[in-house]
Structure 1
């Protein structure tokens, strides 16, 4: 495993929005593979099975009307060298992909992941194993501001842009901004886990 390259301020327990806004924007370090066809899945899953830890996140089209809801559109899994984005509204959330989420030997790490797991289970039932909420690790160390953006500011000295969060994740083609946003969330989750171990 590579040495962690960031300064970790474990004495700081909180960070303000104003302080975050002064930080440099986080830049993706790893390549992105957008999985939009079934034939891409086998190779991606083969690579993911080799990783001991995966950054994890999902994206869902936001709902602005009462009673309206959408299924998960995108599943992000990041290794130390690549970010895999599965458009599960276009490719199947199949048994092989679910098996990674059930594998107790592969840690899946993310921030506030309970709802992500619950919503994925609505598409395909699976037994979530070896999931770790990075916010829980941060709380154990006395950190007070626990969101992904706050933790990135506190632990990585970087600012994460959230501009694409409320965009339409079900549109036929994702924009470069959406792809970058989605990959950033799972890549940063992995880096935060490494920082807090």
Structure 2
């Protein structure tokens, strides 16, 4: 554990933009066939901590909302991208989302879970929301981009956020963006755990 907490409470967009980018360097596996779901979930379920995120096709019309297109779950070495517009939110995935023994780290977890429950209902277990715990270290920012900037000193690119997540094939840039978003949550969590919390008076 580092001996002191040097995290700032806030960071500007300008300061964030000047930081070096952080990218997932592991293997990215796209799951778009139902037969591949069980093996992916077996691997992920054996991990103590995984990163969690979702992506949804953007809507540029008021009142039009799409279902979740992609579920990202990542270990330090492998990130699985479950294409929920192609495959069902199957039982092995639900069991993983409900399993309290596998910690799942995300940002705005409640929003992602709400979107997933529009497909199938489940009782979530083992989730940690970086937005909820960051104030214990004196951090007031909420976005994943700024949490990464403050905690890791690295910038998460948001260039692909509004791309089409229901495209026939995900581009290399989309895959890397999606994998990084999930994986970096575990990096932020690990750094927080190794840094003293703010002592409240």
Same fold, TM exceeding 0.5?
yes
1:178 partnered with 2:170: no
1:29 partnered with 2:25: yes
Q: How do 1:114-133 and structure 2 match up within 5 A? A: 114-133=110-129
Contact 2:55/2:165 (8 A) holds in 1: yes
Structure 1 stretches of 4+ moved >4 Å: none
Contact 2:52/2:73 (8 A) holds in 1: yes
1:142 partnered with 2:127: no
Contact 2:5/2:137 (8 A) holds in 1: no
Q: State the 1:167 CA deviation.
A: 0.9
Unaligned runs of 5+ in 2: 194-201
TM-score by length of 1: 0.92
How many residues align? The count is 192
**Deviation digits for residues 102-126 of structure 1 (CA, Å, limit 9, x no counterpart):** 0111111101111110110111110
| Structure 2 Cα separation of the partners of residues 11 and 158 of structure 1 | 13
Contact 2:68/2:115 (8 A) holds in 1: yes
**Other-structure match for 1:163:** 159
**Other-structure match for 1:187:** 183
| Structure 1 Cα separation of the partners of residues 23 and 181 of structure 2 | 11
Contact 1:25/1:160 (8 A) holds in 2: yes
Unaligned runs of 5+ in 1: none
TM-score by length of 2: 0.91
Q: How do 1:19-98 and structure 2 match up within 5 A? A: 19-98=15-94
Q: Secondary structure at the match of 2:186?
A: helix
